[in-house]
Amino acid sequence: MDNEAVRQAAERIKASSTVVVLTGAGISQESGVPTFRGKDGLWKQYRAEQLATLEAFQRDPELVWQWYDWRRGLIKPLDPNPGHYALVEMEKRIQDFVLVTQNVDGLHRVAGSSNPIEMHGTIWRVRCMECNQIFENRDVPIKILPTCEVCGGLLRPDVVWFGEALDERILRTIYTSLQKAQLMLIVGTSAVVQPAASFGLVAKRTAGAFVIELNRSKTAQSFLFDLSIQGKAGELLPQLLDYIDL
Ligand code: APR
């Protein structure tokens, strides 16, 4: 682990009053949540990209619900890890701190982050295909196929699937934060899924933000950032916090 780089990152964070953090599946990996890409992203013979689409759900809602039921069952007993908790502490030390996550596992909330923006939705909500009503649902196992208690329509997970638009209000809020970010921290994302993959550049171009990436491996975008530190989020983030508190 590159201690000097972590110390430098901490100095930058300490000197910033507006910070945006973007997290991806990598921050939950140490809690036991499988990431999307790579070998542990597979479920049976399917890849996430083949199941997380409206077309897949329309073709075979039972199969897609079975996959989500498996993921919900897997995630429910899991706890946040030191990476999630370090972000809760970091939030307390920064004047204007915005946490954006691509994760649907809900672990930032469980850890205690005050208002994480769950830009891809959450696995713990369902939405009616007919009347669009949204309900919280933590049943494990969930009834397959679940139906809406208001209109009887088929319920789907309230997550953003490939090819679907993001909630416009959420996107506006994120871009507003990026435009004033002095610093951006990008944690555990492969940075291949848009629009999140461009947030670092947006912050850089529009606000001149100092952009730091923390990831177990180099990503396709590492070369774009001011600092790219390789290591586990559950170790790097607490270490960053220690330096911030020095
Ligand atoms: N610490 C830090 N980084 C890690 C760790 C860890 N312990 N474990 C894995 N990583 C990194 C990997 O190196 C990889 O770059 O996390 C990243 C995980 O990448 P993906 O699985 O592609 O997840 P993510 O970037 O969040 O995917 C984005 O794609 O499938 C969709 O909607 C889904 O939100 C998801 C989006």
pLDDT at 1 (0 to 100): 54
Atom of ligand 1 nearest to the CA of 83: 1
Residues in the chain, overall count: 246
Task: Say yes or no: 177 and 154 in one domain.
Answer: no
What mean pLDDT is reported for the chain? 95
CB atoms closer than 10 angstroms to residue 50? 15
Mutate to test the pocket of ligand 1, among 189, 222, 235, 239 (most ligand atoms within 8 A of CB): 189
Task: Say yes or no: 53 and 23 in one domain.
Answer: no
Task: Say yes or no: 92 and 138 in one domain.
Answer: no
84 in active site: no
From CA 89, how far away is CA 68, in angstroms rounded? 31
pLDDT at 140 (0 to 100): 97
Output the ligand 1 site: residues, CB below 6 A. 24-26, 29-30, 35-37, 41, 48, 102, 120, 188-190, 193, 215-217, 219, 232-233
Task: Say yes or no: 190 and 85 in one domain.
Answer: yes
CA 17 to ligand 1 centroid distance, Å: 27
Task: Say yes or no: 136 and 226 in one domain.
Answer: no
Atom of ligand 1 nearest to the CA of 52: 30
List pLDDT tens digits, range 198-212. Answer: 999 999 999 999 999
List pLDDT tens digits, range 191-200. Answer: 899 999 999 9
Atom of ligand 1 nearest to the CA of 102: 34
CA 96 to ligand 1 centroid distance, Å: 25
Average pLDDT over residues 207-230: 97
pLDDT at 39 (0 to 100): 67
Average pLDDT over residues 208-218: 98
Task: Say yes or no: 145 and 106 in one domain.
Answer: no
- Domain holding 149: CATH number? 3.30.1600.10
Atom of ligand 1 nearest to the CA of 37: 21
Task: Say yes or no: 21 and 91 in one domain.
Answer: yes
Task: Say yes or no: 150 and 203 in one domain.
Answer: no
Task: Say yes or no: 222 and 100 in one domain.
Answer: yes
Task: Say yes or no: 177 and 226 in one domain.
Answer: yes
| Whether the bond into 141 is cis, omega within 30 of 0 | yes
Residue where a domain stops, chosen among 159, 180, 207: 159
The number of folded domains in the chain is 2
Task: Say yes or no: 61 and 152 in one domain.
Answer: yes
Nearest CA to ligand 1 atom 36: 193
| Exposure of 67 in the CB half-sphere (CA atoms within 13 A) | 23
pLDDT at 43 (0 to 100): 75
Beta bridge partners of 98: 20
- Rounded to the nearest 5°, which phi and psi values hold at 186? -115, 115
pLDDT at residue 240 is higher than 90: yes
45: containing domain: 38-77+128-159
> pLDDT tier at 45 (50, 70, 90 boundaries)?
confident
Catalytic residue from among 12, 84, 120, 204: 120
Task: Say yes or no: 45 and 108 in one domain.
Answer: no
How much of the chain, in percent, has pLDDT values that exceed 90? 91
- Domain holding 102: CATH number? 3.40.50.1220
Residues 6+ apart with CB under 8 A from 145: 61, 62, 65, 154, 155
- 60, 133 Cβ separation under 8 angstroms: no
Q: Which contacts qualify for 212-215: CB closer than 8 Å, 24 or more apart?
A: 212/9, 212/12, 212/13, 212/183, 212/184, 212/185, 212/186, 213/186, 213/187, 214/185, 214/186, 214/187, 214/188, 215/26, 215/186, 215/187, 215/188, 215/189
